[in-house]
Amino acid sequence: MNATPPEPARQCPLCPRLVAYREQNARSEPTWFNGAAPSFGDPEARLLIVGLAPGRTGANRTGRPFTGDYAGDLLYGTLKKIGLAHGEYRADPSDGLALRGAMITNAVRCAPPENKPTPEEITACRPFLESRIAALPRLRVILALGSIAHESVLRAHGYKPSTSKFGHGVEAVLPNNRSLVSSYHCSRYNTQTRRLTPEMFEAVMLRAKTLSGL
Ligand code: URA
């Protein structure tokens, strides 16, 4: 039985380096969210999308995953295009955007310096991912964005990362008849280098949608 709640406290104390970074951001940008970003979406989600960690000026600023940074434009744009998000995405948590059948979370909930969480921080945050997964009664598919999310999802199920090597479009079977689908992260770097094109991203999102029965 996992005693960890699915969402960490906004001022989660678990990772000293991330707390120090959060406090530094709170001093320089006191109007920002500057906390552990909660998951966003449908509590009846059949599809859980797992990102890496809040960007400093994205979810760390706005308080909603992928909201306000470059990666969010592609993620929310694609969710809208394939019918899993409704309303207008204005990169602002009060834009009224709603997800239907899907939820977005992060492997690490607090913004890490240079977008790079340490292995210890990823491990410390995993109980929240485990609880988030356990609290979704209709969950069928987890879409991992990037290798860190892929590995953390595998470990959250007690699997070694070697059970499924990360790659774009890779699929793995999870317990309870669930599936893991993985994608290159929709980061600015990956899209600008064309490692990930909007077409590739839409195709993998559609595959996850279909597998989840949405
Ligand atoms: N914003 C997030 O919330 N997660 C990511 O992985 C990237 C940007």
Q: What angle do CA 165, 200, 75 make, to 5 degrees?
A: 95
194 part of a folded domain:
yes
What are φ and ψ of residue 18, in 5° steps?
A: -75, -35
Q: What is the CA radius of gyration of the chain?
A: 16
CATH number at residue 106: 3.40.470.10
191 part of a folded domain:
yes
Print the domain residue range for 122: 16-212
Is the pLDDT at 85 greater than 80? The verdict is: yes
62 part of a folded domain:
yes
Look over the chain and give the mean of its residue pLDDT values, rounded to a whole number: 97
Cα 178 to ligand 1 centroid, rounded to whole Å: 23
Cα 53 to ligand 1 centroid, rounded to whole Å: 5
Q: What angle do CA 127, 50, 196 make, to 5 degrees?
A: 150
Is the pLDDT at 1 greater than 60? The verdict is: no
Query: Residue 203: pLDDT band by 50, 70, 90 thresholds?
Result: very high
Query: pTM of this prediction?
Result: 0.98
Cα 54 to ligand 1 centroid, rounded to whole Å: 4
49/66 Cα distance (integer angstroms) = 11
Structure confidence at residue 47 (pLDDT): 99
State what percent of residues in the chain have pLDDT above 70. 99
* Ligand 1 nearest atom to the CA of residue 149, by list position: 6
Regarding the beta carbon of 151 and ligand 1, being less than 6 Å apart is answered no
27 part of a folded domain:
yes
Structure tokens at 124: 């410390």
185/196 Cα distance (integer angstroms) = 8
35 part of a folded domain:
yes
Q: How far is C-alpha 209 from the chain's CA centre?
A: 16
String of DSSP letters for 26-44: HHH-TTS--SPPPPEE-TT
50 part of a folded domain:
yes
8 part of a folded domain:
no
Domains: count for the chain: 1
Query: Residue 2: pLDDT band by 50, 70, 90 thresholds?
Result: low
Cα 52 to ligand 1 centroid, rounded to whole Å: 6
Regarding the beta carbon of 59 and ligand 1, being less than 6 Å apart is answered yes
Structure tokens at 178: 């669930």
9 part of a folded domain:
no
Regarding the beta carbon of 51 and ligand 1, being less than 6 Å apart is answered yes
